[in-house]
Every structure is written in C-alpha cells, then in structure tokens.
Structure 1
Amino acid sequence: MEKEFDLWFSKAKESLEDAKAGFSKHRYGLTAWCCQQTIEKLLKAAVIKLKKQRPRKIHDLLPLLRESGLIMPKEQATEITKISKFYFLVRYPDLNKKFFATPQIAKETLENTQEIFLWIEKKLTK
C-alpha cells in the first residue's frame, strides 16, 4: 500500500501547486476547487497510510477525515467543512461568482488549505 500512499500524497501536493497557480492567475474558482482536491487526496492518502485500507470513492471531506482516524483541531475541521463545499459550488457559474469573486476569499481558502496540508503531512510523516 506504500505505492498507493505515495501516489495519493504526490497528487495532493500537485493539486496544492495547481491551487497556487490558479490564484496567481486570478482564477479564484479554480483555486477553491484545487484546494478541495488537495485535501481530498491528502485525506485519502491518510486512510491508506493510517488504516491500511483503500479510501471510499467520495468527495465529502468530513467523512474522509473521520475515516482516516485523524483528530483535527476544531478550527481546522470547520475549515474542512467549508472547503468541502467547493467541490460542487465551483461547478455552477452563478455560484462560482457569488462565492469566489474576491481575491480575499480565494486567498483565505488557499492559506487554510496550506495549514491543513502541513498539519496532516506532519501526522503522516512521524
């Protein structure tokens, strides 16, 4: 399962880089979606590493967090709930503009994603 973990983990890092690139190009919907993908892939890597099982094929981050067995600080768990919604919201142009029209929202999402990434990464590389 180590190869599978490495694959998910590297894809999570790639999605984080995509989120940063989207932000630098003022593509805030893309930034938010890539942030969701970053955390989803990272949590799936966590399930593989910590539970020695394949993760479910779902996109909702909170069930994936529970499945991983990680106990996250409440503030970050709240952010995960917000980030999870981006998987669906950015697919609809009317919602995309409403939720991601400002650089500030995208910036906060990216910063929170980076913090969550580092927190989970530390748990996986102990």
Structure 2
Amino acid sequence: MSEKTIQYWVDLSNYDLETADAMLKTKRFLYVGFMAHQTIEKILKAYFVKIRDEVPLYTHNLLILAEKLELLDRLSENQMSLLEKLMPLNIEARYPKYKEELLKSLTHEKCEAILKETKELQKWIKKKLKQN
C-alpha cells in the first residue's frame, strides 16, 4: 500500500474531527460522539495500512482494530476508556430506537471531554504513524 492510501485515511480522520468540532458548536451532541468514533476509526485504519501494508479490516469495532495493530497493551487506561466510550456511539447513533436514550446522556460537558480525548488519541496515533 502507498503513502497516498495512508494519507487518504489521515485526511478522512481529520475531516471527521473537524466535523465533530462543528457538531459541538451547533449542539448536535449525538453526532459529536459519532464523528469522534469515525475520527479514531479512520486514524486506526491509516495505521493499519502503514503497519500491515494491506487494506484495513472492514469493521467499525475500534477494539478489534486496536487488537490487530497490537495497540491494546500500549494504550493508556484513559485511551482504552475512550475506545470503550466511543464504541456504542457509532452504532446507537445510527438507529432511531437508541437515539433518544443516547441524547439524554450526552451533555455539552461530556461531548467536550470526548472531543478533547479524541484529539489526544488521534495525535498519539499520528505520532506512531511517523515513527514507523
């Protein structure tokens, strides 16, 4: 796989992070979490291409991606906690049945924290991309 493919995933991750910021500003809290999940999923897929030199797995499961990249042991407790927080935000945001429940749990403060942690984890993975 090429650097171009890696950059493609990085660019998508950056775009999704910008979208998450925009959603926070407009108080669309459900989509802050969804786009934060997408941000991390896509930066993990960039790292997958870099490390494995193959097409990333067709999964939205952040824990599976991290496991396949042998990152689980290298993630801090906070980073691991973020992955666990983001996982349901990807799925539940897509289905109307769960949206109302999820919306009740997502406050401005909680979304700010999720976004801050997402930016930190994305930055950490980007640093790893440059190291390898």
What TM-score, normalized to structure 2?
A: 0.88
Q: Residue 115 of structure 1 corresponds to which residue in structure 2?
A: 120
RMSD of aligned alpha carbons? 1.4
For 2:67 and 2:23, locate their aligned partners in 1 and report how far apart those are by CA, in whole Å: 29
Provide, for residues 62-89 of structure 1, a one-character-per-residue CA deviation record: whole Å limited to 9, x for no partner.
0001112232112201211211211111
Q: Residue 15 of structure 2 corresponds to which residue in structure 1?
A: 14
Is residue 44–residue 68 contact of structure 1 (8 Å, CA) maintained in 2? no
For 2:40 and 2:56, locate their aligned partners in 1 and report how far apart those are by CA, in whole Å: 13
- Structure 1: segments with no counterpart, 5+ residues: none
For 2:42 and 2:113, locate their aligned partners in 1 and report how far apart those are by CA, in whole Å: 20
For 1:93 and 1:106, locate their aligned partners in 2 and report how far apart those are by CA, in whole Å: 20
**Larger deviation: 9-18 or 79-88?**
79-88
Q: Residue 47 of structure 2 corresponds to which residue in structure 1?
A: 46
Tell me if 1:35 matches 2:36.
yes
Provide, for residues 61-116 of structure 1, a one-character-per-residue CA deviation record: whole Å limited to 9, x for no partner.
00001112232112201211211211111123453333334212211211111111
Is residue 100–residue 106 contact of structure 1 (8 Å, CA) maintained in 2? no
Q: Residue 78 of structure 1 corresponds to which residue in structure 2?
A: 81
Aligned CA distance change for structure 1 residues 96 and 103 (closer, same or farther; 3 Å): farther
Provide, for residues 8-56 of structure 1, a one-character-per-residue CA deviation record: whole Å limited to 9, x for no partner.
1110001000000000010001111000000000100010011212111
For 1:97 and 1:112, locate their aligned partners in 2 and report how far apart those are by CA, in whole Å: 24
Query: Match of 1:34, as an amino acid?
Result: M
Runs of 4+ in 1 over 6 A off after TM superposition: none
- Structure 2: segments with no counterpart, 5+ residues: none
Query: Match of 1:113, as an amino acid?
Result: T
Aligned CA distance change for structure 1 residues 100 and 107 (closer, same or farther; 3 Å): farther
Query: Match of 1:119, as an amino acid?
Result: W
- Percent of counterpart pairs with the same letter? 30
Q: Residue 124 of structure 1 corresponds to which residue in structure 2?
A: 129
